[in-house]
Amino acid sequence: MAVRALWYRGGSLHLIDQRRLPARTVVLRLRSVRAVAEAIRTMAVRGAPAIGVAAAYGMALAAREGRFTPERAATILRATRPTAVDLFVGIEAVRRAWANGEDPLAAAEAYRARIVDECHRIGAAGAPLLARATRVLTHCNAGALATVEWGTALAPIRVARDRGAHLFVWVDETRPVLQGARLTAWELERERIPHAVIADNAAGYYLHSGQVDAVIVGADRIARNGDFANKIGTYEKAVVARENGVPFYVAAPWSTFDAGRSTGRSIPVEERAEAEVLELAGRRLAPTRSRARNPAFDVTPARYVSGFVTPEGVVRPSALGRALARRARS
């Protein structure tokens, strides 16, 4: 069974501190909205669905503290990270309930249950894609750690394995913070799914040499036309996959789809601290006076996507707008 990334108990939000993995498994206990905001900002909790759920519980903690209005609590959490739309969806789910006099904690629990259920359904929807595509490349971490339980990109891998598929996963290290090498590999090792960590710039070699049957990644925000933001380096994988005839899939719950944004051109891209690039494990890699740029995400055009693995099935980019319109009407 996949790990639980976060849970609420006894008036506290408990979450695995993803900055400490894989060396140590440390569980943080957060009791305030500001503590949750700091955990999101510093990537103690990360992954679009997971930060949305964490933010929902942060809203519930703010209500419990008794000194915040719904809008003030929402403002604190919205300021943490700009790219992942799930953050704003999770905040709004509880802000609306709280403002209407409903129980904020019940709203946060309901939001969490919805995300977990959708990730389970993503696994079932995507597993048939991997029945024959047994060598899979993934980028960053889109497993249970990023989604509370089960995962998005890793969910079809888990389900396909459970159904008897013999899978092997190429794990991009995902510089600069190494979410693949540290987190995805940690999840796969726990479940004894065969895998190998590779340098980010080795992915093209394996795609070109015929050693990858499919690429599957998560997402942080998906526009109505299918353009999507994901961890920096995703765009490169999509282009090289297309060049070599390898299908490229994006797995995400509905909270990651931003139906109000027509294309990816206006998706905000977070730029993080230079130190993430210039240092590794606290040790300076570059010369003292060197500077760095550190965009945390890139935006991949829809034309490179073979299909979106959603809780309702695999949706082609050309059909995505209609699928989102149907959901809006239901």
Mean of the per-residue pLDDT values of the chain: 96
Residue 26 has pLDDT above 90, yes or no: yes
Hey, what long-range contacts does 78-83 have (CB within 8 A, 24 or more apart)? 79/37, 80/37, 80/40, 80/41, 80/51, 80/55, 81/40, 81/41, 81/51, 81/270, 82/268, 82/269, 82/270, 83/220, 83/221, 83/229, 83/267, 83/268, 83/269, 83/270, 83/296, 83/297
Residue 1 has pLDDT above 70, yes or no: no
Q: Which domains does the chain have, with CATH numbers?
A: 6-118 (1.20.120.420), 123-329 (3.40.50.10470)
Residue 206 has pLDDT above 90, yes or no: yes
pLDDT of residue 235: 98
Convert the pLDDT of each residue in 228-286 to its tens digit.
Answer: 999 999 999 999 999 999 999 999 999 999 999 999 999 999 999 999 999 988 899 99
- So which residues are the catalytic ones? 220
Convert the pLDDT of each residue in 284-312 to its tens digit.
Answer: 999 999 999 999 999 999 999 999 999 99
Convert the pLDDT of each residue in 35-82 to its tens digit.
Answer: 999 999 999 999 999 999 999 999 999 999 999 999 999 999 999 999
What are phi and psi for residue 219, nearest 5 degrees? -160, 160
Candidate from 1-15, 105-119, 225-239 with smallest mean pLDDT? 1-15
User: For residue 162, what pLDDT band results from cuts at 50, 70 and 90?
Assistant: very high
pLDDT of residue 96: 97
